[in-house]
A and B are shown apart, each in its own frame.
Chain A
Amino acid sequence: MNAAPPAPWQLITVDLSCRRNERTLFAGLSFRVGAGQALALTGPNGVGKTSLLRILAGLLRPEGGTVVLDPAEADLDLGHRSVLVGSRDPLKGALSVRELLAGWQAIVFGGDEDTLDAALEAFDLMPLANVPCAYLSSGQRRRVSLARLLLASPLRCPVWLLDEPTNALDAGARKKLAAAVAMHRARGGLAIAATHDPLDWPGLTMLDLGAHNAARGRP
């Protein structure tokens, strides 16, 4: 396997702060995640893990500070260079798994049939490909959500943002997720996951937002 050499991507945040509903969730947050690295965000409920991921995905404006993906590409902002798998599964009950993923491909990611098959295969969704999403269990729905990570080209979307990715997943599916993340990192991508479960990903860096806030006194 002659994979492309890891590109020198770096996700850099400087002095990031976030306010939601008149309450400062975190402030002065600076970190960098390089190509091939993975970061786990931890901390108690409501500390701002999901908000941080939404800021990194370009969906939420931070109160202060900056986020850059270095080297930047002029025609694509961060929202187009990352894939966010949120805590909700954006599934449509009336569409089959294959139709749904093909729709995401056409609307968001681009890509061909082979990519779609590989994504289905990676999360063991082939047997479910023609099942309407309404009939899926919550673990299966989660796997469909995660499969879209593999629809995006790692060159265009090197940043994976995962919000509680292991929710409702069984042991086998967790292994498949770990394998997908490992492959992504080997190709020079980077992954940031907000989680309460311990993730057995090698070389995982931890960032505890609760401890970060405690170290700064009040957030």
Chain B
Amino acid sequence: MNAFLALVKRDLALALRIGGGASFALVFFLMIVTLTPFAIGPDLNLLARIAPAILWIGAVLATLIGLDRLFQADAEDGTLDLIKASPLPLEGVVLAKCLAHWLTTGLPLALAAPLFGLLLAMEPAGMAAASASLLVGTPALTFIGAVGAALTAGIRRGGVLIAIMALPLMIPVLIFGVATCNAATGGTVPFATPFAILCALTLIFAVIGVIGAAAGLRQSD
């Protein structure tokens, strides 16, 4: 348990210091959200209708963009060999690194979503739903990406491969994430239905992602 917390703490410190990628996802998210209204033009109704989709597409891309470094940075300098000697099982290592990644990527996106929703003319109920859906949905994105990141840990420029492998699996999360936002602002299904499915997806991918990524790291030599 101590090793787990120490690993999370170390990864957080590395992400938050100079050269870490903590602010990168948020800035990327902001770029997508600010560019969209300019591209679409002054149609507030249209903008409000597609706002959840834009927030979620932004979240998916912002998560993907930093994922290639999740294990690669440690594989390159030999830290991964050292971590493999830890009493912590490799699944625990993956979980710790995913947690640190989500705390510096998914969580800031979820917290910033209401603010960014303003730029997209969202209603208050929609903003709250967007925040809630990102909060429970973005861990799934991290876990899915972790499998791809583990498989490409030893490859330079593995980011493209991760995108190809992870994107199809991220589509269900995207669909139910957007559906959750839409359900909160009217629609035919109650809010709880897509929200519960989104929670279930996160739980499923937490298991698959952790086991899959650990298996990927084991055979990476």
Contacts and interface: CB of A to CB of B under 8 A. Distances in A.
A92 to B, nearest CB: 6
B78 A89 contact: yes
Interface in A85-103: 86, 88-95, 99, 103
Contacts of A110: 87
Given A80-B87, A106-B3, A59 B13 contact: no
Contacts, number: 71
A99 B81 contact: no
Interface string A161-180: 00000000000000000000
B85 A83 contact: yes
A60 interface: yes
Contacts of A58: 84
A84 B221 CA distance: 15
Contacts of B221: 54, 59-60
A51 to B, nearest CB: 10
B36 interface: no
A219 interface: no
Interface string B6-35: 110110011001111000000000000000
Given A59-B84, A108-B85, A94 B17 contact: yes
Contacts of B7: 107
B77 A107 contact: no
Contacts of B74: 90
A88 B18 contact: no
Chain B interface category by residue count = 20 to 34
Among A60, A86, A148: residue with most chain B CB under 10 A: A86
B20 A108 contact: no
A90 B86 contact: no
Contacts of A89: 77-78
A90 B77 contact: yes
A106 B20 contact: no
A110 B87 CA distance: 9
Interface string A55-96: 001111000000000000000000110111010111111110
A91 B86 CA distance: 17
A92 B14 contact: yes
Contacts of B17: 94-95
Contacts of A9: none
Given A95-B13, A95-B14, A107 B78 contact: no
A104 interface: yes
A94 B19 contact: yes
Contacts of B13: 94-95, 99
A106 B2 contact: yes
A195 B77 CA distance: 20
Contacts of B164: none
Among B17, B19, B20, B86: residue with most chain A CB under 10 A: B86
Contacts of B193: none
A95 B14 CA distance: 7
B88 to A, nearest CB: 7
Contacts of A80: 85, 87
Closest 8 pairs (CB-CB, A-B)? A106-B6, A88-B78, A90-B79, A94-B17, A90-B78, A108-B86, A103-B10, A90-B77
24 contacts: A54-B81, A57-B85, A58-B84, A59-B84, A79-B85, A80-B87, A84-B82, A84-B85, A92-B14, A94-B13, A94-B14, A94-B17, A94-B19, A95-B10, A103-B6, A103-B9, A103-B10, A104-B82, A106-B10, A107-B86, A107-B88, A108-B3, A108-B83, A108-B85
Interface of A: 54, 57-60, 79-80, 82-84, 86, 88-95, 99, 103-104, 106-108, 110, 148
Given A54-B81, A94-B13, 8 more contacts: A59-B81, A79-B84, A88-B76, A88-B77, A94-B20, A99-B13, A103-B10, A107-B7
